[in-house]
Amino acid sequence: MAGMPNAALRAARTARLLSQDDLARALREAGCDSATKRLVQRWESGQTSSPRPSHARALELVLGLPIETLGFGAVMATRGVGHEVRSPIGEVPEQQVAPGGRPAAGTFAGVWLSRYEYYSDGRDATFTAAHHVVLLQHGGRLTVRSLPNSAASSLEMELSIDGHVATGTWSEQTSEDGYYRGARYHGAVQLLAELTQTRLAGKWIGFGKRFEINTGPWELVLQNSSTAKATVDAYDRPPEGI
């Protein structure tokens, strides 16, 4: 008997403009050869309420969100080969959390405050854009997604981490009602991780409204090392004091 439809998964898929076929294809590209359109349909209808651990990990990689926020709850998964077992996907395992709530060495998953500065030619002023974002780590890959109610625009980053250096791309879909009227911007970014792993800071580069090349500072500051649904929901709001 089918359960309740999984509205969270469907919303995450459609927000990224993916059809069910597109999502299945992306999951296969992420290493899940058994992912099909029919499987996606079973998830979204509620017929299958618990994905395999390998599918759960691929869903996180493709959609950039913790599995708990995709309507499945916590899933235990194995990583790599052998019998290494990780905690519920998207969360920092308990033994890897340092005193004071900081993630232990090599882990960056959590809810972060993203802030970057940009200059607006049209308004002849410098502005700060802020979002609460979810950062997930799978090996050397970091995915960053803004929470939908934290800002009028939506932000994404795809990064690779090498030691304390994170390098990758960013994209932002601006608000239809805002100054940039729904324009989409993208570019490159490089960030350095502080030894405490509670702050990533560096610079972005990208094109402006008149297609000139711009740059500016960007930082991510850790707010909470958990990516459990309750934590994510608590930060799904505009940052305070920005």
Mean of pLDDT over the chain: 85
77 vs 193: CA distance, rounded Å: 27
| 122 pLDDT above the threshold of 50 | yes
DSSP of 4-36, one letter per residue? Answer: S--HHHHHHHHHTT--HHHHHHHHHHTT-TT--
The pLDDT value recorded for residue 121 is 84
216 vs 116: CA distance, rounded Å: 7
Mean pLDDT computed over 233-238: 96
Domains of the chain: 7-89 (1.10.260), 110-234 (2.40.160.90)
When comparing pLDDT for 56 and 208, which is higher?
Answer: 56
| Closest to 153 measured CA to CA, from 119, 136, 125, 176 | 176
Beta-strand ranges (E) seen in the chain are 77-78, 85-86, 110-120, 125-138, 141-146, 154-162, 165-173, 184-193, 199-207, 213-224
When comparing pLDDT for 211 and 136, which is higher?
Answer: 136
When comparing pLDDT for 15 and 47, which is higher?
Answer: 47
The pLDDT value recorded for residue 16 is 82
Mean pLDDT computed over 88-94: 36
Model pLDDT for residues 190-214, shown as the tens digit of each residue: 999 999 999 999 999 998 877 789 9
